[in-house]
Amino acid sequence: MTFALVLLLIFIGFFAGGLGALVGVGGGIIVTPLLAIYFGLPMHQAIGVSLMCVIATSTATSSLYVEKHITDIRLGMTLELATTVGALIAALIAHHINRKTLAILFACFLLYSAGSMVKKAWESRKEKKEEAISDYAPQNYPIGFAASLVAGGFSGLLGIGGGPIKVPVMFLFMKVPLRVAAATSNFMIGVTAATSAYVYWGHGDVRVDVAAPLVAGVFAGSLLGARVSRKVRPFYILVLLVGVTGWLAVQMIYKLLTGGFQ
Amino acid sequence: MSQQDAAADRLLSLTLKAGAYIAFGLIAAGLLLQTITNRGAKLAAAGLLVLLATPMLRIIVACIQFFRERDLKYAMVSLGVLGIVVLAYVLGIQT
């Protein structure tokens, strides 16, 4: 691996980790497709490497959110019972799924994420004053468990964190404040991603030469992102992320249609 | 939030920070060494392994805290999560 390539990977990690921490996504939705489309990595390797980036984002940002008592450890731990089961099953299955199917699933998830971020951006136009977290008691655990199982499954299958699935469910159905839901999801994705990462590592799909520079960049980016996140208006970052994920989805579909991902 | 919970959060945050900085340090040192001497891949790999270990460590720390707070319900939940993660480790890395 050339020096220039290492620098490029560090930069991509920094970009993905920083953006991820600023708006609360794991960065996996950027890293997996970038590696698969532009670096020619097989889907399974792209996913394995991306899982490492998700763990890095989770570890870096959670250290700050837990310190500020925003993360609900009890809620996170409870839902992890479901995300880890989903992740383990998915990781074991993923090895037997062909690259093309994984790529199709990923393209669908990219479009879904882009859509959910358009909605989020629209709502964040008029940013409200930061409110103190009011008292709450999580409700509707069965729905939370179901969503967590699905989120864990997608995480193990596609190398993402699964935040776009869990956070809305925690917020809307479990009646958890949005900030708490985002911080708790951030805490959970590290454990979820590690569960499937063990399986990918065992299959030799976590390439150290690709993962090391990316993870270094992700650490730096997400620590910086989490620190300045309260000072930055999320609107422009969300617009940027919608652009990036939309572009990656189009590229992925194009590559699929022209016979890629074999 | 109780004082005990606040203390538990501090310890957990410290665990996460230690994991993050040790992994980052090892990986950065590995990458640096690689550009100079073409070796260092092992150091970078060690950093990635530390990164892989932090999620397990954070569950263990949370579990111990719940036991110390006599919060048996969540101590059991943590043990359950730990069991699944260890199973993944055994199925994944060991085989």
- State CA B69 to chain mean position distance: 21
How far is A128 from chain B, CA to nearest CA, in Å? 25
Beta carbons of A194 and B56 less than 8 Å apart: yes
What are the tens digits of pLDDT across the range A42-54? Answer: 999 999 999 999 9
**Which A-chain residues 176-205 have CB contacts (< 8 A) with chain B?**
187, 190-191, 193-203
Query: What proportion of chain A, given as a percentage, has pLDDT over 90?
Result: 61
Tokens found for residue B4: 């005990």
A62 vs B contacts (CB less than 8 Å): 13, 16, 58
Contact A84 B81 (CB under 8 A): yes
Residues 49-78 of A with CB under 8 A from B: 52, 55-56, 58-60, 62-64, 66-67, 69, 71, 73-74, 77-78
Count of domains observed in chain B:
1
Rounded to the nearest angstrom, the minimum Cα separation between A259 and chain B is: 31
What is the pLDDT, as a whole number, of residue B4? 75
Show the domain range for B85: 3-94
Under the banding of pLDDT at 50, 70 and 90, the label for residue A126 is low
Is B20 within 8 Å of A216 (Cβ atoms)? no
Task: State whether ipTM is beyond 0.90.
Answer: yes
> What pLDDT is stored for residue B95 in this prediction?
61
Minimum CA–CA partner of B89 in chain A:
A198
Instruction: Label residue B31 by pLDDT band (50, 70, 90).
Output: very high
Q: Is A211 on the interface with B (CB under 8 A)?
A: yes
**Tens digits of per-residue pLDDT, A143-201?**
999 999 999 999 999 999 888 889 889 999 999 998 899 899 999 999 999 999 999 99
- Average pLDDT over all residues of chain A: 89
Q: Chain B residues with CB inside 8 Å of A81's CB?
A: 77, 80-81, 84
Structure tokens at A153: 């499954």
Residues B40-75 pLDDT 10s = 889 999 999 999 999 999 999 999 999 999 999 999
Residue A47: partners with Cβ closer than 8 Å, 6 or more residues away: A32, A94, A102, A157, A158, A159, A200, A205
Mean pLDDT, residues A62-74 taken together: 92
